[in-house]
Amino acid sequence: MPVSLRLIVGLGNPGPAYAATRHSIGTAFVRHLAERFAITFAPTAKFKAEAGRGSVAGVNLRLLLPGLYMNQSGQVVGPYARYYRIEPAEILVAHDEVAFAPGVIRLKSGGGANGHNGLKSLMEHLGAQDFHRLRIGVGHPGDKACMVRYLTEAPMPPEERGKAAAAFRLDDAVLTALVRGELGLAMNRLHQPAEQQNAGADC
């Protein structure tokens, strides 16, 4: 039986200085979701985060934006999930993915961190890696030496951000399957046969 989602987490770095960066695209997605379903965020009393609760495609769940830096995200998500008795398999994490071009979104269940510090932190503090991931393409700088600046310092160009924002608007069938835990159906509807890789950019 599918297990419905109970929590969607948007990964990113906190504060306005990082809001337009590629590393905070997960936060941008969850804010979009909150706006789409009229869910209001508020600072949490017990956790360093913004949180909201409401119905997303007919499923009542929580939205969470950690208020710590990316590599400390698990210090918020782990205690929050335990407090509300939310299992890792009931969690979807939206995060930036350099393997995909802007405008490409892919779903994945479980697996390793693949070098992503936010996912590493979540695995450490959840004590598991079987949460679901919404991997939002931000492209690759072409040179690993440029990665930190590319993700955390340079704002995402408007054209690329527009492509990402357009991809946020998951159609009703995909979103309904996703929040109901019908991940296979959601993947089949969302994933295209061919994936475009970003050709790279100058740093």
Active site residues: 23
Instruction: Supply 150's token pair.
Output: 């590319």
Q: Token pair of 151, please? A: 């993700």
Compute CA 73 distance to the chain's CA centroid, rounded to the nearest angstrom: 12
C-alpha distances in angstroms, 179 versus 42, 76, 108? 22, 22, 14
Owner of token pair 């936060």: 27
* Residue among 5, 38, 12 at smallest CA distance from 152: 12
**Which residues, 6 or more positions from 188, have their beta carbon under 8 angstroms from its beta carbon?**
none
